[in-house]
Structure 1
Amino acid sequence: MTTTTGSYLTLDDGRPGVRFTRTYEKPIDRVWRYVTDPVDLAHWFPSTFEAGELSPGATIRFFDDPNMPESVGTIVAAEPPRLFSFTWGGDELQYDLEERGDGGTHLTLTNVLLSADAAARNAAGWEVCLLALDAADRGAPLTEDHTGATPPWKELYDAYTALGFPSGAPVPGMDEES
């Protein structure tokens, strides 16, 4: 059985999104590096991430993703170590970090979607990426490619579609471009 941890939502402004929450036994400053440091991002984020500075309006470059062309995004918000948000491929990614009383950290990833039909596709992708982050957090090696349209992504996509997440958006690396 495939386990899904994401939720589909409509934000207050009407935009669609998918959201994931994780809890790490690490302090907030360490989890902040998981979502902002290129060395840590390489363990789980699907593209190489390069930013000169982490401040609103700064440009981020994304590259070395076998299923996506090189692209740029813009940092929307950066409030270390609690909030980091940026645009990527027409979507917005937001990481919210909250300290727990026991020294651990809650991480919430919200992917605000350009189009609702990307919900199942993106939820499956973030699920795979976050599984890789969870493994890196535990110090476990990543045993399979965490990008692309191959299992476990396909199983997760099918599971999210079965849960009623909107679907139908093209899948990079799987659907032919028109």
Structure 2
Amino acid sequence: MEQTLGVVTETDGGYQLAFERTFKHPPAKVWRALTDPGELRNWFPAVVDFDVTVGAKLTFAPTDKQRAKFGLTDADAAQGELIAADPPKLLEYTWGEDRLRWQLHDTADGGCRLEFTQTCPERDSAIVQGAGWHVGFEQIEALLDGTTPAYDPFERATELAATYVQAHTP
């Protein structure tokens, strides 16, 4: 399924990357993909155990693939904090300097509409991360559908990065 690109806009003090995705699965199932460590392992760009208690401290460690491909170590882990949680409708947290918000809405057909925003201090970071999240949403869809994407996610994100840069360059 071809998905629309995320949109980067300037905000007070930073940039916001925004996506909207519709899944044929209910919010509770999508919520598990966003918070369950076993499901996150299949698509999320870090190792994190979500404590969905507001104020909980979070650690975003490199995945095994990132360790092998980029030589990342535990020293590359980032810290964050859970800002808001209303299972299975809202998840918001910080990841380093960024703020991520996942909002899930029921759809009339029993599925779910996801609104995702990431607020970053730098425009270039928001643009490049757009490619990564784009691939992440493709992987979530495959996970929920019980399929496996036929591509390497790092290669796919690299390919999409040029598209994101071109789409967001004035």
Global fold match (TM > 0.5):
yes
Question: Contact 1:4–1:160 (CA<8 Å) still a contact in 2?
Answer: no
> Does 2:130 match 1:123?
yes
> Does 2:99 match 1:92?
yes
Q: How many residues align?
A: 160
Aligned partner of residue 48 in structure 1, secondary structure: coil
CA deviation map 1:80-108 (0-9, x unaligned): 11110111131111100001122111011
Aligned partner of residue 108 in structure 1, secondary structure: strand
1:157 to 134, 155, 161: 161
Question: Contact 1:8–1:165 (CA<8 Å) still a contact in 2?
Answer: no
Residue 27 (structure 1) shift: 1.4
Question: Contact 1:95–1:108 (CA<8 Å) still a contact in 2?
Answer: yes
Runs of 4+ in 1 over 6 A off after TM superposition: none
Residue 4 (structure 1) shift: 4.7
In the other structure, the counterpart of 2:29 is 30
**TM-score, structure 1 normalization:** 0.80
Within 5 A, what are the aligned runs for 1:1-178?
A: 4-11=4-11, 13=12, 15-51=14-50, 53-65=51-63, 66=66, 67=70, 69-147=76-154, 151-165=155-169
Aligned partner of residue 102 in structure 1, secondary structure: coil
CA distance in 1 between counterparts of 2:134 and 2:169 reads: 14
Aligned partner of residue 84 in structure 2, secondary structure: strand
Provide the identity percentage: 32
Point out the structure with the larger helix share: 2
CA distance in 2 between counterparts of 1:145 and 1:63 reads: 20
Question: Contact 2:30–2:144 (CA<8 Å) still a contact in 1?
Answer: no
CA distance in 2 between counterparts of 1:3 and 1:22 reads: 8
* Structure 1 vs Structure 2 CA RMSD: 2.0
Gaps of 5+ in 1: 167-178
Residue 118 (structure 1) shift: 0.9
Residue 144 (structure 1) shift: 3.7
- The residue type equivalent to 1:6 in the other structure is G
CA distance in 2 between counterparts of 1:101 and 1:80 reads: 19
Residue 154 (structure 1) shift: 2.1
Gaps of 5+ in 2: none
